[in-house]
Amino acid sequence: MLTRRLLIIAPAVIILILLQSYFWVPSYEQQTRGNPDRLVQYITASAGDASILNPILSADTASSQIQSQVFDSLIDRDKDLHFRGRLALSWDIYEEAFFHMNPTAAVPGLSSSDPESVAGLIRSAAQTPGRWSGAVAESLANIQAVTILPSRTFSATHAFKGPEGAQQVDAQISAPARVRLVLNRVDQDLFKNLEPLLGAEYFSSFPSDAFLSTDVDLPPEQLSVLAESMVPAVEHNPIIVFHLRPGVRFHDGHVFDAGDVKFTYEAIMNPKNLSPRVADYEPVKAVEVIDPLTVKITYKRLYSPAIGTWGMGILPEHLLNPRALREEAERLDKDPATFTLRQSRFGRNPVGCGPFRFTSWKSDQYIRLTRFGDYWEGPPNYTQYAVRIIPDPLTQEMEFYAGTIDSYQVQPHQVARLSEDARFQNFSGISFGYTYIGYNMRRAPFKDPRVRKALGMAIDVDKIIRYVLHGQGERITGPFVKQTGYYNHDISPLPYDPEGALELLESAGWRRNASGWLEKDGRRLAFTLITNSGNQLRQAILAVAQDAWKKIGVDVRTDLLEWSVFIQERVNKLDFDALILGWQMGIDPDLYQIWHSSQTGPYQLNFVGFENKEADDLIIKIRQEYDHRKQVAYCHRLHRIIAEAQPYNFLYVRKWTAVLDKRIVIREQGPDGSPVYRKITPTKTGDYAYDFNKWIKLPGVPVFAQDG
């Protein structure tokens, strides 16, 4: 009897021993015993590996986490979300605006509408703006200088889509003189406010097509569009002049200067590099190096997100310019003509001017960085920064408890317990992003919005939030950050309604066959839903969606892919039916990269292929609008259009909780040079790592003055 009991118990004991062996990691005390350097090593974990460590090429969170430490940007946001200088000490924002002389319009009060008379009228009004009222007076007072640019003749080649596909037209332009206005600040209503001076139709009646001729006959509508682009009645050119920080060096010792800023812009815009950032910088007309510490950026048109785009990490021109790439290609025995930044070893051995320099990267295991002693703001307190690739959340949790990693993103089911655990300091908030199911709209059956909407209605998202997220989430209906005014709260989430979903599918021609599967024209409604491995929440949603869709007769297969394969081979190459993914968003409402129809190609971010003319127009208006109320109204309308089209089934925005060892504190230097310690406090957005460069881990838990 005793022997039999031992035989029964033994397998459980063996399993327990195996589990203990699998999850065994050295304790924090064991790590630091004889190795005091562990106190100055910050080690964190990531479920997926980075893809490429070049900020102009990557679009995944794992890569961004490393890049934020290796590279520095011209600006970022402070704790109050105001822009602050980083590589830029300061900046000036103003505008140069232009309008062509209109030979067909008479100007009130002028006997002659020649350039000198018109410019003189504006100069006089700008010197005495008090004669006018309201917005007109404000615009006039904003004018700093008025000059005349002579008429000009030039030729240009324009590519367009004609009835026979891509075509080119050669155009000859004889443009009249222009008036150039230098403004103290950007004024989007300038030309509207000049109408009382020049006449209500001075700008709207400008005959652009009268100054253009082409080598082929074009339809009048097409000729008009071409003429307006080449000889516009008016033109806004906002300008940012960045004054750069002197003495900044890259990790290899090379001095950072304005040439690196210009090179970074040019690398983004080089079509060979396939940068997903092109949309942010396409509005730039020119980047001009004034001197080594001054760079002038001129925009083609109004672009309200302009300043925020320069939060991009700056690349070292001397390591990646055409000569450097050619030499690297030759060393690697590659064709220099086709060799690009994407093939360069720089993507796995980056050099920036951020607080940490790159040390090593072992794929799917770890990435290590070392403190940069010459960092312009002063070196971080930590001497080493490491990210370990640990796809399994349970393993991450065990390692956090042991102290082999220093932070842990709490899983939803653990929030109630770990947020109250006295051993840790914890931080929480609502994510600036959302999780969604996206459909490849280039493929049947997802071209039909009724199918996309029906698939969303078949899923009980509230149940996902309740049971999968353990209540740590909120429904979301569209693409804007829920905590901002840009989000349209008047839009209701898709209802959970399987019967209504079936009715929608039936209206689209899908009916159940004898086996219970939905069928149309003899073809079953079948597709594959994919997501990345290592994310248990997405894997759970994968199972929930598959089960829900099968219940209404949809034949769904699922697939889990390693992160880099998922992104590089399937998402970037548009090779998928449907996927589960998430976006981390910024505060700015610019959605051009993700939703504009021009961004649907490989390696671009509108990989679901959403195309909508009104949405395109609104996206452009949002980019060009400086009036916050109007911008919000445009965002609300865009939100509704996308919600109705359902290119994504918008699921939820997560509530997040992160925990840190209580021994991690902020260390600063007091007036007498002695160390001063204070608690880590998050910013308004919940960013608790804002002061990361001042973090340090102490041997024991400190007692702060406010703790008593």
pLDDT digit string (tens) for 653-703? 999 899 999 999 999 988 998 899 999 999 888 889 999 999 999 998 887
Nearest to 442 by CA among 616, 617, 646, 600: 600
Mean pLDDT over each residue of the chain, to the nearest integer: 91
pLDDT value, residue 350: 98
Nearest to 97 by CA among 176, 229, 194: 194
**Bond preceding residue 292 cis, omega within 30 of 0:** no
pLDDT value, residue 679: 93
pLDDT band with cut points at 50, 70 and 90 for residue 200: very high
Structure tokens at 372: 């940069």
Nearest to 197 by CA among 115, 112, 136: 136
Among residues of the chain, what percentage have pLDDT more than 90?
A: 78
The torsion of the CA quartet 497, 500, 501, 507, rounded to 10 degrees, works out to -170
How far, CA to CA in Å, does 23 sit from each of 42, 411, 535?
Answer: 21, 18, 19
State yes or no: pLDDT of 708 exceeds 50.
Answer: no
Residue 688 is given by DSSP the state T
| CA–CA dist 370, 35 (Å, integer) | 17
- Are 679 and 447 in contact by the 8 Å Cβ rule? The answer is no
Q: Which domains does the chain carry?
A: 20-72+326-428+657-707 (3.40.190.10), 93-239 (no CATH), 433-656 (3.10.105.10)
Which residues fall within 8 angstroms of residue 405, CB to CB, at 6 or more apart? 43, 44, 45, 388, 390, 396, 399
| CA–CA dist 123, 109 (Å, integer) | 15
Which residues fall within 8 angstroms of residue 217, CB to CB, at 6 or more apart? none
pLDDT value, residue 240: 98
Which residues fall within 8 angstroms of residue 457, CB to CB, at 6 or more apart? 494, 495, 496, 497, 498, 500, 501, 504
In the sheet with 675-678, reading across from the earlier edge strand, the strands are 675-678, 664-669, 695-697
Q: What angle do CA 383, 245, 68 make, to 5 degrees?
A: 40
State yes or no: pLDDT of 404 exceeds 90.
Answer: yes
Among residues of the chain, what percentage have pLDDT more than 70?
A: 94
Q: Is 443 exposed, middle or buried (0-12, 13-18, 19+ CB in 10 A)?
A: middle
State yes or no: pLDDT of 33 exceeds 60.
Answer: no
State yes or no: pLDDT of 29 exceeds 60.
Answer: no
State yes or no: pLDDT of 11 exceeds 80.
Answer: no
Arithmetic mean of pLDDT, 357-367: 97
Greatest Cα pair distance, the chain, in angstroms, is: 119
What residue has token string 């092109």? 278
How far, CA to CA in Å, does 284 sit from each of 97, 149, 269?
Answer: 15, 22, 10
Q: Is the dihedral of CA 62, 63, 67, 70 positive or negative?
A: positive
pLDDT digit string (tens) for 294-330? 999 999 999 999 999 999 999 999 999 999 999 999 9
Structure tokens at 614: 């009104």
pLDDT band with cut points at 50, 70 and 90 for residue 165: low
State yes or no: pLDDT of 379 exceeds 50.
Answer: yes
State yes or no: pLDDT of 376 exceeds 90.
Answer: yes
| CA–CA dist 600, 596 (Å, integer) | 8
Give the pairing type, strands 433-439 and 648-661: antiparallel
| CA–CA dist 85, 394 (Å, integer) | 40
State yes or no: pLDDT of 462 exceeds 60.
Answer: yes
pLDDT value, residue 71: 98
Cβ count within 10 A of residue 497? 15
pLDDT band with cut points at 50, 70 and 90 for residue 19: very low
pLDDT band with cut points at 50, 70 and 90 for residue 25: very low
Arithmetic mean of pLDDT, 161-188: 87
| CA–CA dist 312, 72 (Å, integer) | 8
pLDDT value, residue 583: 95
pLDDT band with cut points at 50, 70 and 90 for residue 31: low
- Are 109 and 117 in contact by the 8 Å Cβ rule? The answer is no
Which residues fall within 8 angstroms of residue 547, CB to CB, at 6 or more apart? none
| CA–CA dist 508, 72 (Å, integer) | 51
| CA–CA dist 612, 618 (Å, integer) | 10
How far, CA to CA in Å, does 290 sit from each of 35, 242, 333, 475, 500?
Answer: 50, 10, 38, 49, 63
What residue has token string 């960085």? 369
Strands of 7-151 (E only): list them.
Answer: 41-46, 75-77, 83-85, 88-100, 143-149
State yes or no: pLDDT of 489 exceeds 70.
Answer: yes
| CA–CA dist 687, 224 (Å, integer) | 50
3-class DSSP state for residue 168? Answer: strand
